[in-house]
Amino acid sequence: MKNLRVDLVFSYWVFAWFILYICKIITFSPKFAIILGLIDNVIMLLLMSIYTKNRNTIFYFIIINTFIKIIPLYYLRNEPIKFKDIYFTIALFGIFVIWLHVNKQSLTGNLKLIYNSILYGHNKTPFMAFIHKFQNNFKNLNY
């Protein structure tokens, strides 16, 4: 199985939304979506503690999600969640599902690939693959 592209992972869509929001390009707050993503990540972290043998994968998972979810959520901590934000989250997720189908992916297949990659340390999600490749490049250097 090949690595997933960034555009096929909804968390990165939400992070891009956060960037657009703090740059005042968009008025819908991503706080609700980030909270949902963080709940999913806590569940994933619990599953990783059971199924993942590689502690580096857990460490990198925590680091990545600290940058794309915890820091943005902290930044938005005083933001109220409005119904328009919830509706926008639903609409964006709908667009994401359509994007998956345009790219010949299914939502369930995509989720399975992400979960299996993270749980079993296959490093197929975008930043996990980047970190793995970065590590391998340093291992191959001769001093």
Give the C-alpha separation, 113 to 76, whole Å.
30
Could you tell me the residue ranges of all domains in the chain? 6-139
Please state the pTM of the whole predicted model: 0.85
Q: How far is CA 142 from the centre of its chain?
A: 34
pLDDT tens sequence across 69-108? 999 999 999 999 999 999 999 999 999 999 999 999 999 9
Give the C-alpha separation, 61 to 43, whole Å.
12
* Three-class DSSP category at 15: helix
Q: How far is CA 108 from the centre of its chain?
A: 16
